[in-house]
Amino acid sequence: MSTRTLVSPAALARPRGRAVYWTVFTAVVVLFTIAFLFPVYWMATGAMKSPDEVAKTPPTLVPEQWHLSGYGDAWDLMQLPRHLWNTVIQATGAWMFQLVFCTAAAYALSKLKPAFGRVILGGILATLMVPAQALVVPKYLTVADLPLIHTSLLNDPLAIWLPAVANAFNLYLLKRFFDQIPRDVLEAAEIDGAGRLRTLWSIVLPMSRPVLGVVSIFALVAVWQDFLWPLMVFSDTGKQPISVALVQLSQNIQLTVLIAAMVIASIPMVALFLVFQRHIIAGISAGSTKG
Amino acid sequence: MTKTAARPPAEAIAVHPVQAPPPAGGRGRRRLTDQVRAYGFLLGGLICFALFSWYPAIRAVVIAFQKYTPGSSPEWVGTANFTRVLHDPEFTAAWRNTLTFTLLALLIGFAIPFLLALVLNELRHARAFFRVVVYLPVMIPPVVSALLWKWFYDPGAGLANEALRFAHLPTSNWSNGADTALVSLVIVATWANMGGTVLIYLAALQSIPGELYEAAELDGASLLQRIRHVTIPQTRFVILMLMLLQIIATMQVFTEPFVITGGGPENATVTVLYLIYKYAFLYNDFGGACALSVMLLVLLGAFSALYLRLTRSGEDGS
């Protein structure tokens, strides 16, 4: 089956070994359930308790009465449809901008041999050394007053979309994947009269589905989870994504309603994870060993 | 290949003039159009990097030496921003908190995931379940995790104290006490982020050749000796890598203190990034904010450079 690990199969086959194994196994199941699943359960059911019950000590494990109104109230009172929609627009926009511009740039750097290509690649990789969060203030000032054209992108989804393209990690991931595509494949396409754009579209991209999937998931999750940048950029409440809105509204809203909103805010990413869990987990595991 | 060699020399000579290089002008034009095309593909990405990565990095350094108010023209002030920031009592608190947070996160956030991965790797059942469950908190938006734990730490009906009471232990102030607040935040950050670390350790553990364990066992190595002499040396590279990544990430902690404690109580959880945010958006002091950013940048840049060097050398080695 699998390869030999720390404990030998022989030791596990002995009665004592098996007893220890199943004890450890049960302990880990219990630990994981308490540590990771229970908080999620607590959140999902807390939203369905009455305001009195949620403040009760000792707390009730199962709601005495199941109120679905918490979710409804959150939906209406906290204007969740609007904030969810803002988040969807910001995330999908950032994803598409990244797919178009990062892919094109990675393709150029990998296959089109632009002059100063190595210098540009070096400059892009250097940004990996500069932690993104440490630069939020000058980045904010740039977005507030773009050089040369003196336009402000504040309260505009472009403030999320355009900086998302400057993602050295994803660009490098794409470039390294493109590097592995043999040159003769592309040359064959060119001999058949395909232009560079067509080669990219009908040869390179179809071959790159796995890496495009990884980049897409990274791009979507990053925007959905981000907090500090949208907090700075969207001062207009109506334009705020769900993460910022949750924190801004958390001060003066009933606890059960807030918890319901938290659950709703988590659903899209958790659903995405459950659907693509195999790819996501494989991607993280592979990323570690291949650097 | 052999066919060409067998060809009579006369034919080769006959072909020669046809294969002569095209006139230099045409080739140059060809190269130019190639370059124009290449830059066409590069342009969008290049502009975004220039605007949102390179330019802000330069600007951080420039504004750090200026009195900067949006809308009016900046004034050079020398090192005044740095001296002002250095004399801020919150400055010392922020750095002390950030470094303590990083250290605690390293102790808790390194030991627990490693032990978990070690145990998980030995389990032969429900492997997919464990991997999904441990990664679940990572997919919950950080803001939600922070709000969730803020509720757990609530002195009234909070689950954290309820659990302590259930176990007949004295209750704690958690995030509301000056001496426990920082640790409480480390717990949140560890809970929310350790899924990724566990998965990476698991992958590293799975790449250890089984023969090494067999050989060690034949030499009479006990379980702990096998961990010490086989597991840890074999995963040392990944461990070091994740430690560095974690240092870089936790030194930029913002969401947890902002959402859960607001930097309090008594500045016990103000972090450097939080202070940068305050300088910019509460005090409207962008010069001070950039001076702080530059300090953080230099420190983190050093760690990042180390990380990149290690990954490079690791790639070359394997």
Q: Which whole number is the average pLDDT over B42-46? A: 93
Selected residue with higher pLDDT from A203 and B60: B60
B240 touches chain A (CB under 8 A): no
- Give the pLDDT of chain A (291 residues) as one tens digit per residue: 456 888 888 888 888 889 999 999 999 999 999 999 999 999 999 999 888 888 887 888 888 888 888 898 889 888 899 999 999 999 999 999 999 999 999 999 998 888 888 999 999 988 887 778 889 999 999 999 898 888 999 999 999 999 999 999 899 989 998 998 888 888 888 888 888 888 888 888 888 888 898 889 889 989 999 999 999 999 999 999 999 999 998 888 889 999 999 999 999 999 999 998 888 888 777 654 443
| Residues B240 and B292 placed together within one structural domain of the fold | no
In terms of domains, do A100 and A137 share one? yes
CA atoms A176, A177, A182, A188: torsion sign:
negative
Q: What is the pLDDT of residues B269-301, one digit of tens each?
A: 999 999 999 999 999 999 999 999 999 989 888
CA distance B55 to chain A (A): 8
- The answer on pLDDT for B27 being more than 80 is no
Mutate to test the interface with A, among B69, B143, B224 (most CBs of A within 10 A): B143
Rounded to a whole number, what is the distance in Å from the CA of B122 to chain A's nearest CA?
A: 7
CA distance B67 to chain A (A): 14
- Position A289 scores a pLDDT of 44
More confident residue, B244 or B318: B244
Looking at A24, A51, A69, which one is the last position of a domain? A69
Residues B146 and B236 in one domain: yes
The answer to whether residue A108 is domain-embedded is yes
Of the partner residues B37, B48, B210, the one whose CB lies closest to the CB of residue A162: B48
Residues B246 and B256 in one domain: yes
B112 is a domain residue: yes
* Domain-embedded: residue B3: no
What's the number of domains chain B is made of?
A: 2
Please check whether residues B315 and B180 belong to one and the same domain: no
Answer yes or no: is A138 within a domain: yes
- Report DSSP letters for A100-158, one per residue: IIIHHHHHIIIII--TTHHHHHHHHHHHHHS-GGGGHHHHHHHHHS-TTT----TTSTH
pLDDT at B9 over 90: no
Tell me if chain B has a CB within 8 Å of the CB of A153. no
A185/A127 same-domain check: yes
Q: Which domain holds residue B64?
A: 55-87+285-318
Taking residues B134-161, what's their average pLDDT? 92
Is residue A258 assigned to a domain? no
- Claim to verify: residue A29 and residue A102 sit in the same structural domain: no
Determine, for residues B42 and A287 on separate chains, whether the beta-carbon distance falls below 8 Å.
no
d(CA B169, CA B152): 16
Give the range of the structural domain holding residue A47, as residue numbers without chain letter. Answer: 9-69
Structurally, chain A folds into a number of domains equal to 2
With residue A12 as reference, give the H or E element that holds it.
helix A9-13
| Residues facing residue B66 across a β-bridge | B76
For residue range A71-110, list pLDDT tens digits in order.
988 898 888 999 999 999 999 999 999 999 999 999 999 9
- Over residues B150-168, the pLDDT tens digits come to 999 988 778 888 888 888 8
The tokens for B45 are 């990405």
B277 contact residues in A (CB cutoff 8 A)? 136, 228, 232
Closest by Cβ to B203, choosing from A2, A168, A289: A289
Say how many C-beta atoms besides its own lie within 10 A of residue B230's C-beta. 19
Within-domain flag for B21 = no
A242: exposed, middle or buried (Cβ count in 10 Å: 0-12, 13-18, 19+): buried
B118 reaches A (C-beta below 8 A): yes
Does B254 sit within 8 Å of A32, measured CB to CB?
no
A262 inside domain:
no
B42 assigned to some structural domain = no
Residue A119 within a domain: yes
**Structural domain contains residue A4:** no
- Going by C-beta distance under 8 Å and a sequence separation of 6 or more, which residues neighbour residue A103? A174, A200, A205, A212
d(CA A273, CA B222): 39
CATH number of A158's domain: 1.10.3720.10
Identify whether B73 is part of a domain.
yes
Q: Which of residues 192-221 of A touch B (CB under 8 A)?
A: 196, 200, 221
Q: Are residues B119 and B136 in the same domain?
A: yes
Nearest to A52 by CA among A63, A39, A68, A61: A63
pLDDT at res. B245: 83
* pLDDT per residue as tens digits for the range B172-212: 888 988 889 999 999 999 999 999 889 989 988 988 888 89
Q: Are residues A86 and A209 in the same domain?
A: yes
Residue B142 sits in a domain of what CATH number?
A: 1.10.3720.10
Same domain, B224 and B267: yes
**For range B40-68, the mean pLDDT:** 93
Stated pTM of the model = 0.88
Instruction: Please indicate, yes or no, if residue B72 is contained in any of the structural domains.
Output: yes
Q: Which of B66, B67, B136, B308 to mutate to test binding with chain A, by most A CBs within 10 Å of its CB?
A: B136
